[in-house]
Structure 1
Amino acid sequence: MPDGQHTATREVIAADIGGTHARFAIAGIENGQVVSLGDPCTLRVADYDTLKEAWRAFGQRIGRSLPGQAAIALACPIQGDVLTMANNPWTVVPADLPRDLDIDPPLLLNDFEAVAHAIASLHSSCLPHLCGPDRPLPKNGTIVAIGPGTGLGTASIIRRDGRTLVCGAEGGHMGFSPFNDFEDRLLDRLRTVHGRVSAERIISGPGIIPLCAQLSEENGEAWRDLDDKQLWTLALEGHDRVTREGMARFCQALGGFAGDMALAHCATAVVVAGGLGKRLMDVLPTSDFGERFIAKGRFECMMRKIPVRMIRYPEPGLFGAASALAQQPATGNTLKT
């Protein structure tokens, strides 16, 4: 940009719609970057019947006119005339959003694609080391992002000669690949319930339930009918043996899946994100994640050379959605009143 020229800051809405929560914030973007991100408004999806109702509640909570431009990250593939969320009951019709939300046609992207945009834009200080070589994300190559939460998100960041391309994916819905006898038995257990068993059935927040159920059965212990939030709380507290072992098995499975994704993409780096990834930030480095990540037979030497990092940022989905929109051509900054 020539000296003396300055692009005014645009206000936009960033939204991150997941399986459990819908998050909204006002972001400021300028010169292709996010320069500010307001306090997030977090709503429970279960409390609203539609995105329109949650959007209206967000506007009421912040008590001001909303910008007319928006980036909306959704936990589903962004394909077709009707978008069906993977882990919540909402459906979204893209053509109806300008009318329903009183905005310009929004930028729609997969929720984990938004997280990948955040990874591509955040400073290295927000990406602490997990395992492998402790070096920054490479300037060239493919960076794989994975994130366990309500589901299991995946995306890739492709860097070539100063250019960056972010691609969403649905890797969490690939078939689960067992590594040992315990995971064979777990897979058999889940097949009786689901038929086909995706990686997400185990490597996600709810995955702690079948893991602990299998461990309880094999240890001859009575199964406690607890939900995944209660089981994760017990696991992270560290006093309960079954949930602690379930968490250890989870970290192993996550490491194996991360390594498979890295191998599939010939990745030059991997980043673990997701709501559950954030909760496990202090657990993963001392778990068997790294051992399972590299356990790829003839490719073990190659796997050892791949840096694996985590993400430490309060709302990467919101930041990433805003970042993706910042890189789109400007169309003005309309305020809806």
Structure 2
Amino acid sequence: MAFRANISLLVFTSLLFSLCSALSPNYYDQTCPSAEMVITNAVKKAMMNDKTVPAALLRMHFHDCFIRGCDASVLLNSTKNNKAEKDGPPNISLHAFYVIDNAKKELEALCPGVVSCADILAVTARDAVALSGGPSWEVPKGRKDGRVSKASETKQLPAPTFNISQLQQSFSQRGLSLHDLVALSGGHTLGFSHCSSFQNRIHNFDAKHDVDPSMRPSFAASLRNVCPVHNKVKNAGATLDSSTASFDNMYYKLLVQGKSLFSSDQALLSEGKTKGLVSRFASSKEEFESAFVKSMIKMSSITGGQEVRLNCRVVN
């Protein structure tokens, strides 16, 4: 999820995010009954050729919902006069957009102008989790696609360097609680991070320490080996947990062992309530999965779009 930067209350207020009561798991039952099957098949097909697809789709959905709500604005291409979200610094490493495109193309042939790109993205995020061994859930649908996408607004994404108060502020401004913060952070059980996102913890940490003292020394040493101070390897980095292709609670187990990558991960242990939740989720995969599903449904119900795009990369 590798969130970045801060949010201005002014921008947030202008977006008028809302928890949309019109969303329903049965939204397409009459208008496009095979919608979910088409989307799931597109994810399965992509996963056969690229094991990074689940992490990419889950991260894409997070990054979409935290800017203007879950309106698929992250899918829009830049134009001559506008640099879109996908080209903002935190989103440069997003990939697997073709999975959405493939599902959309097939859905347009079956049910023209019916299924929104925002709904496709929400369903692929669920499939990314379920097809990686995690829980499944009924995805409420009925989102509309947005018409605005600005790279400058990606500064609103929570950064991997955030402390607990910054994280709490970012999540609360979207109607998400500390419980949601800890549960959704479990999405880090899938995926990979480049060195730049955790370099601050393993080199020149502060005036007294070169390495973050909360990090297990052997773990820090392994990261420093992969990410030296003058790293010149373009795609160098580390997996977000030791079972990176499986959706499980290993992220929390490693976190309590001092083996987390981001400052924002370690920050979850700096506050009593969040630390307690980390311990609970580390101890119980079932409790984590239940909390993750509830928080995903809550986050993915933040809406903000106006249309159903015919092409997910351009407005109608």
TM bucket normalised to smaller = 0.3 to 0.5
Of structures 1 and 2, the one with the larger relative CO (CA 8 A, separation 6+) is 2
Q: Which has the larger radius of gyration?
A: 1
Give the TM-score, by structure 1 length: 0.32
Give the TM-score, by structure 2 length: 0.33
Larger helix proportion of the pair: 2
Larger strand proportion of the pair: 1
